[in-house]
Amino acid sequence: MQTINDTIVAISTPIGISALSITRLSGNNALNIAKKLTKSNDFTPRYAHLKYIYNTNGNIIDKCIVIYFKAPHSFSGEDIVEFQSHGGIAVPKNIVDECILLGAKLAKPGEFSKRAILNNKLDLSTAESISKLILAQSKQASEILARLLKGDLGNFIESFRKDLIEILAHIEVLIDYAQEDLPKDLESSIQKKLEDSIDKLDTIYKHSLSKQHIIDGHRLVIIGRPNVGKSSLLNKLLLKDRAIISNIAGTTRDALEESITINNQIIKIIDTAGIRKTSDKIEQIGVNKSLQYAKEATIIIALFDGSREFDDENIIEILNQNKDKIIIAAINKIDKEQLFDECKLKDFEMIKISMLDSSVIKLKDMIGQKISSDTINNQDIILSSSRQIECIKSCIVELQNAKENMIDFEIFSFHINTALHSLDLLTKPFCNDEMLDSMFSEFCLGK
């Protein structure tokens, strides 16, 4: 079983044909393993050394740059050795294999970051930002996450934590010195500070929820009745034939997902099953999934058949239930005789398109305009993961419970302490190993 005392090794760069590859060793035995691999004892911390790497048979594996980072002045807080070798598949793998033969263990995903947190080199929120930054697919997301690397969230949490401790201290005064002549406005002052704290945290919570798609990418869902052209629209947006197109209603029974880039932002497009009343159990499952995808979307394109009379009350009902999202009502098949009543869509932004001309480009431009107006101020605090959002939500609930129990200082104090614990979970790993392992399993290998 792997422990924190083991020396770990992993390739930190993508595996494949490339000029360079970086293999990283971390742990108490990292330097000794490096000395055996290079047959050299000459390692000055933070200096680049050009060394031959040998296998256990004495044969040369590669000639590469070796850098030694002495603990605690390293990413993980432990001794780290990095081998900057030639790329490809064989050379980096051979280096890892030799490290394992010399006593290292293969690192799990995110294990270097986990050790950095346990050694107080990183807080939990910054580690999550690093992981998200590696996965970021848009300029705006990378800028937001890079800013979080400075520790903006951690600094805010520490400041907010001090405010709650101050409230707690004042409550303790009221409990311990209830018979004393205390300032008359002390209770009202505590209540005011608590309300301000709730408002401040609630603002960050709601703002982060509404902007999460900038970090994780937009989810665009195409909904409509069967045979209105949803799959054709998906193919047009992707510029390739991804979905099967047929005149038979109900051809798409399960959602299709593909990603495109518009205005430097990644958008996951989901083509859903046609929404209609059906006795077919399999088709109904697809319809139910379509409704769920609409709830989870940030952008909804509702497609209507312009060559048919309006019979889409259920689609309008779905749109009315999701007015907090970007909604575009697209009337398709304008190349045919029009029977559709446009007045039915007066509450929504509308565009007319045809799959037989370039009008879909206008729809794409409209989507681009919508998402381009969605920006974040450089001073805004943004939570970068669903775990962080849940921690803040729990903290808000406890603070609201405290507010409702101002007359009972003991219960009030309990809720403030519970709120502090929820707050600490944002940046500190007060969790069991199983939870930490689950969290870091989403990280890259070698990070």
Which of 62, 89, 122 is the last residue in one of the domains?
Answer: 122
In a domain, 444, yes or no: no
In a domain, 308, yes or no: yes
Of residues 265 and 113, the one with the higher pLDDT is 113
- Residue 328 β-bridge partners: 301, 349
Q: What is the number of domains present in the chain? A: 3
- The CATH number for 165's domain is 1.20.120.430
* 288 vs 310: CA distance, rounded Å: 22
* 84 vs 111: CA distance, rounded Å: 20
- The answer to whether residues 277 and 316 belong to one domain is yes
In a domain, 446, yes or no: no
Which of 340, 372, 404 is the last residue in one of the domains?
Answer: 372
Domain that holds residue 112: 8-122
What DSSP string describes 65-83? EEEEE-TTSSSSSS-EEEE
Instruction: Look at phi and psi of residue 263 and say left if phi exceeds 0, alpha if psi is from -120 to 50, else beta.
Output: left
* 262 vs 281: CA distance, rounded Å: 37
Task: Answer whether residue 247 shows pLDDT above 60.
Answer: no
Amino acid at 201: L
Task: Answer whether residue 380 shows pLDDT above 90.
Answer: no
Task: Answer whether residue 185 shows pLDDT above 90.
Answer: no
E strand or H helix at 164:
helix 152-176
Task: Answer whether residue 201 shows pLDDT above 60.
Answer: yes
Of residues 151 and 325, the one with the higher pLDDT is 325
Lowest mean pLDDT of 165-169, 357-361, 362-366, 435-439, name the range.
435-439
Distance in angstroms between the alpha carbons of the first and the last residue of the chain: 20
Q: Are 302 and 224 in contact (CB under 8 A)?
A: yes
- The CATH number for 258's domain is 3.40.50.300
Provide the residue count of the chain.
Answer: 447
In a domain, 222, yes or no: yes
Task: Answer whether residue 396 shows pLDDT above 80.
Answer: yes
Rounded to an integer, the average pLDDT of 250-271 is 76
- The answer to whether residues 293 and 350 belong to one domain is yes
Of residues 173 and 41, the one with the higher pLDDT is 41
Q: Are 130 and 114 in contact (CB under 8 A)?
A: no
170-174, 179-183, 240-244, 434-438: range with highest mean pLDDT: 170-174
In a domain, 3, yes or no: no
- The answer to whether residues 74 and 153 belong to one domain is no
In angstroms, the Cα distances linking 222 to 169, 238, 257, 299 are 54, 13, 11, 9
Q: Which of 94, 115, 84 is nearest to 13 (CA)?
A: 84
Query: What φ, ψ does residue 131 adopt, rounded to 5°?
Result: -60, -45
pTM greater than the 0.85 cutoff: no
Q: Which of 265, 146, 212 is nearest to 382 (CA)?
A: 212
The encoded tokens of residue 38 equal: 């290079």
- Name the DSSP letter for residue 15: S
- The answer to whether residues 99 and 155 belong to one domain is no
pLDDT classification of 47: cutoffs 50, 70, 90: very high
CA atoms within 13 A on the CB side of 222: 34
Please list, in sequence order, all residues whose beta carbon lies within 8 angstroms of the beta carbon of residue 343, skipping any fewer than 6 positions away. Answer: none
In angstroms, the Cα distances linking 86 to 39, 57, 64, 83, 102 are 19, 20, 7, 9, 21
- The answer to whether residues 190 and 253 belong to one domain is no
In a domain, 438, yes or no: no
- Residue 267 β-bridge partners: 218, 260
In a domain, 311, yes or no: yes
- The answer to whether residues 250 and 353 belong to one domain is yes
Lowest mean pLDDT of 69-73, 158-162, 249-253, name the range.
249-253
- The answer to whether residues 288 and 397 belong to one domain is no
Amino acid at 64: C
pLDDT of residue 253: 46
- The answer to whether residues 234 and 364 belong to one domain is yes
What digits encode the pLDDT tens for the residues 234-243? 888 887 666 4
- The answer to whether residues 56 and 108 belong to one domain is yes
- The answer to whether residues 134 and 168 belong to one domain is yes
Mean pLDDT (the chain) is 86
In a domain, 436, yes or no: no
pLDDT classification of 25: cutoffs 50, 70, 90: very high
- The CATH number for 103's domain is 3.30.1360.120
Which of 91, 122, 153 is the last residue in one of the domains?
Answer: 122
The encoded tokens of residue 45 equal: 């911390």
Rounded to an integer, the average pLDDT of 259-280 is 81
Q: Are 18 and 108 in contact (CB under 8 A)?
A: no
- The answer to whether residues 349 and 275 belong to one domain is yes
- The answer to whether residues 186 and 327 belong to one domain is no
The encoded tokens of residue 353 equal: 């398109």
